[in-house]
């Protein structure tokens, strides 16, 4: 009888110990989840229209909105901490382990945003050093720390797979999305189609830094950077509102006979309006470009006071040699022609498309300085220079 009681007592004690351990493990798991939740700073999207972020318990959701789809189709990725359980309902190609450690980037804007967040060490590959302004990135490409993947990602998948990259970010378009790379999808390397270039507000483009913040677990840093950019940007707009004149402006240069004029809903046309400039195609509805011949541009913009963004040209002589008909434009006769290629490396890598997309307040300040020079007397042009 005593032996039976002793056995039951031992069983009961073991049960209590097991129960206590399970309870402790459960509490530890909850504590870990709570710590993960506590350290995550959420992100609100204010200007960008092609993505939004959603924060769940223990993971995040990145929703990419297709601007080329009539129905604005959405692709969703679950950003899950390393070692954490994957939430139900998501395919392997939709799972991105965060923080990401090895990223293939394909534009200077993407690379600049990672560099701005202090995450240059997480850049594993880039298309070509020829179009990279950052000397730090160029040096790493030359040393092999960052591999060259070329412009055709689909035909360079072997190199990407060998790099053990955990994320590839491509340029999204009407023909390219996250499912356009079946080989990478098959080996579970997620592909994000970045459509920042489709944002029609400069701050919307800059706000994509919040995507990188979420991917790198650096939401707090991304928020801080963006809020400072936004504050400076809006202060410059307040200065622009005090302008007493509204000069007219045209932009661009023909290529193979066609002049890509920014549409009235494009980021540049909106920026012209924000800095109180009269833009001849402001009333059009295109978010991209309008294709016109030179005569068509001259008919509406020949009398414009200013002419910006003239391709790769750096002098008035080069512009005249390109086509002598440009001499008829009032902006040429007044020598009011400015280009956004002041910051070049090797004549091909233009920092306007890198730093400018992260810091659009510098673009806005330059536009105000050009169009209303008296409003910012101390500002030195950063991206733009006057053709002489």
DSSP 357: H
The pLDDT of residue 40: 58
The average confidence (pLDDT) of the chain is 90
Fold entry, domain 241-386:
Rossmann fold (3.40.50)
The pLDDT of residue 42: 76
- Sign, CA dihedral 126-129-131-133, equals positive
The rounded percent of the chain whose pLDDT value lies above 70 is 90
Instruction: Return the closest-CA partner of residue 387 out of 350, 337, 353, 342.
Output: 337
The pLDDT of residue 2: 40
Six token digits for residue 309: 């963004």
Largest Cα span, the chain? 115
pLDDT in tens, 332-351: 999 999 999 999 999 889 99
Q: Say whether 207 sits in a helix, a strand or coil.
A: coil
H/E stretch holding 103:
strand 103-104
pLDDT in tens, 154-187: 888 999 999 999 999 999 998 898 889 999 999 9
Question: Which residues of the chain register pLDDT less than 50?
Answer: 1-39
Residues of the chain with CATH 3.40.50.1980: 51-231, 241-386
The pLDDT of residue 14: 38
**Other beta carbons within 10 Å of 228:** 12
Measured distance CA(262)–CA(259) in Å, rounded: 9
- Tell me the backbone φ, ψ of residue 105, rounded to 5 degrees: -105, 160
Six token digits for residue 350: 């233009």
The pLDDT of residue 72: 78
CATH class of 51-231: alpha beta
Instruction: Kindly report the pTM of this predicted structure.
Output: 0.88
Six token digits for residue 47: 């200007």
The pLDDT of residue 30: 38
Measured distance CA(129)–CA(125) in Å, rounded: 10
Six token digits for residue 228: 């400072």
**Other beta carbons within 10 Å of 340:** 22
The pLDDT of residue 237: 98
């Amino acid at each position: 009888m005593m032996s039976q009681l002793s056995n039951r007592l031992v069983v009961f004690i073991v049960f209590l110990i097991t129960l206590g351990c399970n309870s402790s493990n459960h509490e530890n798991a909850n504590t870990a989840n709570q710590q993960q939740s506590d350290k995550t700073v959420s992100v609100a999207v204010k200007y960008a229209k092609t993505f939004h972020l959603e924060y769940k318990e223990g993971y995040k959701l990145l929703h990419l909105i297709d601007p080329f789809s009539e129905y604005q189709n959405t692709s969703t990725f679950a950003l899950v901490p390393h070692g954490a359980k994957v939430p139900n309902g998501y395919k392997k190609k939709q799972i991105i382990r965060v923080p990401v450690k090895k990223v293939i980037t394909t534009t200077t804007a993407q690379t600049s945003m990672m560099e701005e967040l202090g995450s240059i060490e997480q850049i594993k590959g880039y298309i070509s050093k020829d179009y990279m302004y950052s000397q730090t990135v160029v040096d790493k490409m030359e040393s092999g720390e960052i591999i060259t993947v070329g412009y055709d990602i689909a035909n360079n998948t072997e190199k990407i797979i060998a790099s053990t990259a955990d994320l590839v970010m491509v340029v999204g378009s009407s023909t390219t999305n996250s499912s356009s790379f079946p080989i990478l999808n098959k080996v579970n390397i997620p592909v994000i189609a970045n459509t920042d270039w489709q944002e029609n507000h400069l701050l919307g483009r800059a706000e994509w830094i919040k995507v990188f913040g979420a991917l790198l677990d650096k939401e707090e840093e991304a928020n801080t950077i963006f809020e400072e950019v936004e504050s400076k940007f809006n202060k410059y707009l307040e200065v622009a509102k005090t302008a007493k004149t509204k000069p007219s402006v045209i932009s661009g240069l023909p290529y193979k006979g066609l002049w890509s004029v920014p549409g009235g809903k494009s980021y540049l046309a909106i920026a012209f309006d924000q800095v109180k400039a009269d833009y001849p195609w402001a009333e059009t509805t295109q978010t991209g470009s309008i294709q016109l011949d030179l005569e068509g541009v001259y008919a509406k913009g020949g009398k414009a006071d200013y002419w910006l963004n003239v391709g790769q040209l750096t002098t008035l002589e080069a512009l005249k040699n390109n086509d002598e008909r440009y001499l008829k434009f009032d902006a040429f006769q007044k020598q009011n022609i400015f280009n956004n290629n002041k910051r070049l490396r090797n004549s091909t890598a233009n920092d306007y498309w890198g730093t400018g997309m992260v810091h659009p307040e510098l673009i806005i300040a330059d536009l105000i300085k050009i169009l209303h020079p008296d409003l910012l007397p101390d500002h030195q042009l950063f991206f733009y220079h006057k053709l002489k």
